[in-house]
Amino acid sequence: MSITPTRRQVIVSIERQELALLYDGALQRIFSVSTSKNPPSCKADSYGTPLGLHTMVDKIGAGEPLGMVFKGRVPTGQIFSEFSEDEQLRNLITSRIIRLRGLEAGKNSGDDCDSYARYIYIHGTNHEDRIGQRFSGGCVEMLNTEIIELFEAVAEDDLIWICS
């Protein structure tokens, strides 16, 4: 398969817990992130952040308020502070969702390793104090204001490379 580079690219460093946004090869911005508390993994049910080349396939949540909670990729109509204390203990998907599709067959695409089928996202979180630490269940989590900034800066089909 041939992959055409995109003008905008995102690189996630699991080791550094950072996401870099590039445009025409020039660094635009570095964001702190949280990747999986489990070791990186492309395997289904591993709860690890998948490695390799991906594309952004779905941008969900445009126009929703800061802190909006999504369930099944649908806004609930409530921001996370409106949820019960018990629900707030969970790691909620907030503000925006950028869904990823793996581009490497047998690594992050296909049977037992498919990032899209695993619902791997870049998204906001209600646990912003954990950004910069490995905490997620496999997704790349960001501060709510910063996921909105990234969401506005990227487009579907932009490339994202997740490295250890």
Evaluate whether 24 touches 37 at the Cβ level (below 8 Å).
no
Q: Pairing state of beta strands 74-79 and 121-125?
A: unpaired
- Tallying the residues shown for the chain, one arrives at 164
Contacts of 33 (CB under 8 A, 6+ apart): 12, 17, 18, 19, 122, 131, 132, 140, 141, 142
d(CA 164, CA 60): 26
Q: Distance from first CA to last CA of the chain, Å, rounded?
A: 23
Domains and CATH numbers, the chain: 34-156 (2.40.440)
| 67-96 pLDDT tens trace | 999 999 999 999 999 999 999 999 999 999
| Average pLDDT of the residues in 53-75 | 97
Q: What is the pLDDT of residue 5?
A: 87
d(CA 72, CA 151): 19
| Average pLDDT of the residues in 118-143 | 97
Token pair, residue 118, equals 């695993």
Token pair, residue 151, equals 């969401």
pLDDT for residue 104 is more than 70: yes
Contacts of 84 (CB under 8 A, 6+ apart): none
